Amino acid sequence: MEPRLDLFATETGTRIGKRTAAITAVIEPALPKSLRELLCLRVSQINGCGFCVDVHTKEAAAAGETPLRIGLVAAWRESTVFTEAERAALALAEEGTRLADAHQGVSDGTWTRVREHYDDERIAALVGLIATINAANRFGVILRRPGGSYEPGVFAGLRS
């Protein structure tokens, strides 16, 4: 599969990338890297973005996540390796991604579980992360960016 366009080869695309990285930089201090990567991985799996699945699988491993947890994130409901707080965040990520699949959007039950484990600052970060990775997935899918060649840490340079 060949990508349709290298977004970063354009001035506009580079500016978009830098602004997206700036949003990510705001979110980073509020949530542990391993949680961020697992959530981004799960959202990217749902959206079918091969490039983002590649990125977040490798970044999760670089953050110290185990192969077991990385492999089971797609089946987190049927797994015992995630905490209740992580499960609440994964449910929020899934429901916040599958908005078109359910008229309710994020259910009250999921919201209640998220509120049990996270304060307002962390919830703002979770919502921002979910929205941002969904946007990144749209870039990857629309432009047909293939997975497989990402090297951890590549995007760190966008923040400068």
**Is the residue at 95 inside a domain?**
yes
3 state DSSP class of 127: helix
Q: Assess if residue 37 is contained within a domain.
A: yes
114 φ, ψ (degrees, to nearest 5): -60, -45
pTM of the entire structure? Answer: 0.92
Over residues 117-137, mean pLDDT: 97
Q: Is residue 44 part of a domain?
A: yes
Q: Does 39 score more than 70 pLDDT? A: yes
- For the residues 23-41, what does the mean pLDDT come to? 96
pLDDT band at 157; cut points 50, 70, 90: low
pLDDT digits (tens, 9 = 90+) for 41-95: 999 999 999 999 999 999 999 999 999 999 999 999 999 999 999 999 999 999 9
Q: How many helices (DSSP H) and strands (DSSP E) are in the chain?
A: 7, 0
Q: Return the pLDDT at 3.
A: 84
CB 6 within 8 A of CB 58: no
The b/e string for 113-122 (b: 16+ C-beta within 10 A; e otherwise) is bbeeebeeeb
Where in the sequence is the domain holding 50, given as residue range(s)? Answer: 33-144
Number of folded domains in the chain? 1
Residue 49 maps to a domain:
yes
Over residues 2-13, the mean pLDDT reads 88
The answer to whether residue 57 is domain-embedded is yes
Whether 21 maps to a domain, the answer reads: no
User: Residues 93, 105: contact at Cβ < 8 Å?
Assistant: no
Tokens of 104: 């309710």
- Residue 4 domain-assigned? no
Q: What is the CATH number of the domain that holds 60?
A: 1.20.1290.10
The share of the chain scoring above pLDDT 90, in percent, equals 78
Does residue 87 lie in a domain region? yes
Q: What gap in Å lies between CA 46 and CA 28, rounded to an integer?
A: 22
